[in-house]
Amino acid sequence: MHPFDDLTIEQFRQLVLALTEQLRSANERIATQDAEIAALRQQISGGPGPGSPAANEPPAWLKPNRPARPETKRKKRDCAFTRPRGQATSEIEHAADYCPDCGRKLDGGTLHHTREVIDLPDVTVQTVEHKFYTRYCGVCQKRIASKGDLQNQVVGKRRIGIRAMSFIAYLRTACRMTVESICLLLDAQFGLKISAGEVSELLSGVADVGAPVAETLLDNIRNSPVVHADETGWREDGKNGYLWSFSTPDTRYFVRDASRGSDVVKEVLGAKFNGVLVTDFYSAYSFYPGEHQRCWVHLLRDLHHLREKHPDNGSVKMFISDVRDVFDRAREYDGEKHTEADRRKQRFVYQEELRRIARPFLKQPVPQRVLAERVERFASELFVFVEYEHAPPDNNAAERAIRPAVVIRKVSGGTRTERGSETMAVLHSLFATWQLRGHDVLASFRLLLLGGLDPLGNPT
């Protein structure tokens, strides 16, 4: 029997009225909540509310999609750029021994086609036990102990050989792997079970051998006519610090320090350096009394951001256009056709022209005031490349040098000890220099441990 069967018509009427009122209240509450949700979504995205054409647009903080590119017909290549055939290490012949139809035995034949299969061999770790014996000399009445010469196989009294040490250093620097990942790879691929602590100790051992080479690289930096410098964050044991990079066309040197002040630059460059220093606009480099080229790429990037922030401001557009025009003319200036005095004179011409562009906006409530003040302050350091042909207008060399270390920092989070930071700086100095010079990094690490490098880090 249903519970509603005993209800009278009046009771049904009261029940319907109560349910109707409850439904109305629920609908009002839902409408209020929908409005609150829409307002919160609008607040998060910074965009328009529901119902407007731009309601489905991405929020302002989200990087926009790349604009669609027009489809163009692909240019025909001169060659296919397929993988070239390598030198075969072994050959396997495939031929039918019997006819599949009649069963007749087959022999002879001609080559129909070949197929190249490239694979990795199965490699397991080799553990060699060296036994040293003593022998008795009846004439001298002495026991002679064999010392054995293992210099070409192991560094010092370590149990891990040179080939494994150099491979671990290669994985850490060139492959940007963490210590834990190196342990997993050695175990999975070669069956070598080694702890993370021993991997760190081996890396420190490689750095100890490479420290004299790193000092020679530092001397090369100090004697260079142009040095690029840059810095990035590097944490040590959870504490903030900085990794400094100093680069020349054939050398890169790294040092980690807790400070981001000018004392680090002074200590690295020393009083011996008197070339052109190329940096960004960071104040730690401003102490340098010699020729100093500031990076135009950083300035142009800030000008671009200013244009994006004020797209409809004609004064901003004119300021940016004038500054860019001076730079373009300075970059196109052919210094090889002019004397040193002419280049120096032209440098001052560009400096004064840039100051005239910036002067009207100094201390004015305009969007370009900050960049105008920067241009006016650093005008004498923006056109050094005009006078000195070997100095570039940008600091891209330092940016490229420090990028691999930034990737490693993002993967590993930094280092844990001061010794680990010193190891990292030495290894990256060696790796980056060898890579810049076009050397085989793995072979160079091996030659380093074998003593086969000259003082400048080149193979002998």
Q: Helices (H), strands (E): how many in the chain?
A: 13, 7
Looking at residue 122, its pLDDT comes to 87
Angle 43-46-50 from CA coordinates, rounded to 5° = 75
pLDDT of 81-132, one tens digit each? 667 777 888 999 999 999 999 989 998 889 999 999 988 888 899 999 999 9
- Residue 7 neighbours by CB under 8 Å, 6+ apart: 15
- Alpha-carbon span 396 to 398, nearest angstrom: 5
Q: Are strands 276-279 and 292-294 parallel, antiparallel or unpaired?
A: parallel
Give the helix/strand (H/E) hosting 358.
Answer: helix 340-358
Looking at residue 14, its pLDDT comes to 81
Inter-residue contact 236 to 416 (CB < 8 Å): yes
Q: How confident is the model at residue 52 (pLDDT cuts 50, 70, 90)?
A: low
Inter-residue contact 403 to 306 (CB < 8 Å): no
- The gap between the terminal CA atoms of the chain, to the nearest Å, is 103
- Alpha-carbon span 3 to 12, nearest angstrom: 12
Q: What is the mean pLDDT of residues 365-377?
A: 94
Looking at residue 454, its pLDDT comes to 85
Query: What residue has token string 């139809």?
Result: 101
* pLDDT at 48 exceeding the cut of 60: no
pLDDT of 373-410, one tens digit each? 999 999 999 999 999 989 999 999 999 999 999 998 99
| 140-153: burial string, b at 16+ Cβ within 10 Å, e else | eeeeeeeeeeeeee
Q: What is the mean pLDDT of residues 169-192?
A: 94
Inter-residue contact 232 to 257 (CB < 8 Å): no
Looking at residue 412, its pLDDT comes to 87
| 231-262: burial string, b at 16+ Cβ within 10 Å, e else | beebbbeeeebbbbbbbbeebbbbbbbeebee
Strand partners, 278: 228, 293
Q: What is the mean pLDDT of residues 292-307?
A: 95
Q: How confident is the model at residue 71 (pLDDT cuts 50, 70, 90)?
A: confident
Q: What is the mean pLDDT of residues 197-222?
A: 95
The angle that helices 162-173 and 441-450 make with each other, rounded to 10 degrees, is 140
* pLDDT at 58 exceeding the cut of 90: no
Inter-residue contact 170 to 448 (CB < 8 Å): no
Low-confidence winner among 35-44, 91-100, 157-166, 326-335 (lowest mean pLDDT): 35-44
- Alpha-carbon span 176 to 291, nearest angstrom: 36
Sign of CA dihedral 27, 32, 36, 41: positive
Calculate what percentage of the chain has a pLDDT beyond 70: 94
Calculate what percentage of the chain has a pLDDT beyond 90: 66
Inter-residue contact 202 to 158 (CB < 8 Å): yes
Looking at residue 299, its pLDDT comes to 95
- Residue 387 neighbours by CB under 8 Å, 6+ apart: 291, 335, 340, 343, 344, 346, 347
Residue 135 backbone dihedrals phi, psi, to 5 degrees: -125, 145
- Residue 457 neighbours by CB under 8 Å, 6+ apart: 213, 216, 217, 430, 433, 434, 444, 448
Pick from 33-42, 145-154, 241-250, 329-338 the range whose average pLDDT is largest: 241-250
Q: How confident is the model at residue 8 (pLDDT cuts 50, 70, 90)?
A: confident
Q: How confident is the model at residue 138 (pLDDT cuts 50, 70, 90)?
A: confident
Burial group, residue 207, by CB count within 10 angstroms (0-12, 13-18, 19+): buried
